[in-house]
Amino acid sequence: MNYRHAYHAGNFADCMKHALLVTLLQSFLRKPAPFMVLDTHAGIGRYDLHSPEAEKTQEWRDGIGKLWNEDAASPLADWLEQVKKAGGPEFYPGSPLIIAQMLRAQDSLICCEKHPEDKRSLYRLFTNTPNVTVHERDAYEALRALLPPKTAKRGLILIDPPFEEPGEFNRLAQAVQTIQARFANAIIAIWYPIKHRTPVRIFHETLMGTGIRNICVAELLMRPPHNPDQLNGAGLLVIRPPFGFAEKASAQLERLQHVLGAHESCVTQLVEE
């Protein structure tokens, strides 16, 4: 409950996660059928990059601060369009605002935020957005309560926990099983930090042992993952990625690696279809 994303908004991990999120959302827009997105750890939706919190860490300067002037030919252009639409460069959008901006009238977004103050900020942001609902509830309880959706047969479940409590990778593995039982055709996207390799490897092996097919992993490392007390990189694990996702994600990560001066990027098919 003490985690506040305002200190980290717009950093390299946000840029990586949101660029790939836009690519996932674009796949739904190819067809007219409605889709639903459940954002389980939504935050406040939009962050002031000149707030005391952001100025204290200035993490955004090594993230969105280096990417703002990408040209229209960049593989990051579609994501940056959403960032600018949200009020940049003064503000950086969280995942719920990026999602909401890309919804059509027939689509919907459900946001869950456990922190009461952040939930109120998020609710105010979407007061006049009828296809977005905001819940103050635990993310993992929400998976049981809100799935399957009543309004769509297609959907994306975005799980982006703060990883401030032990056992988060175990909870994520259990969450995947819950989603499988309740909304088996959903795309599942799980963000995770990379400090050192052991917890990530165990998480991957756990999911590989479930029998779930078609699991893709995209990772961006700013430095070798040798220091467990430092955020060295970030990953996005996607279950049932849309056609062409791996190729687009590879191009996006390669560009992020080049501009941000990252150590390494990769997209791996952890389990084949």
- Active site (catalytic) residues: 160
Residue recorded with tokens 């460069």 = 89
Is there a binding annotation on residue 14? Answer: no
Distances (CA, A) of 111 to 118, 170, 239: 11, 22, 20
Is there a binding annotation on residue 160? Answer: yes
SS3 155: strand
The arrangement of strands across the sheet holding 132-135 comes to 132-135, 108-112, 35-39, 154-159, 187-194, 233-239, 215-221, 264-271
Report the C-alpha gap between 262 and 273 in whole angstroms.
30
DSSP code at position 184 = T
DSSP code at position 59 = G
Is there a binding annotation on residue 113? Answer: yes
Is there a binding annotation on residue 121? Answer: no
Is there a binding annotation on residue 48? Answer: no
Sign of the C-alpha dihedral computed for residues 44, 47, 48 and 53 taken in this order: positive
Binding site feature residues for S-adenosyl-L-methionine = 18, 41, 95, 113, 138-139, 160
Binding site feature residues = 18, 41, 95, 113, 138-139, 160
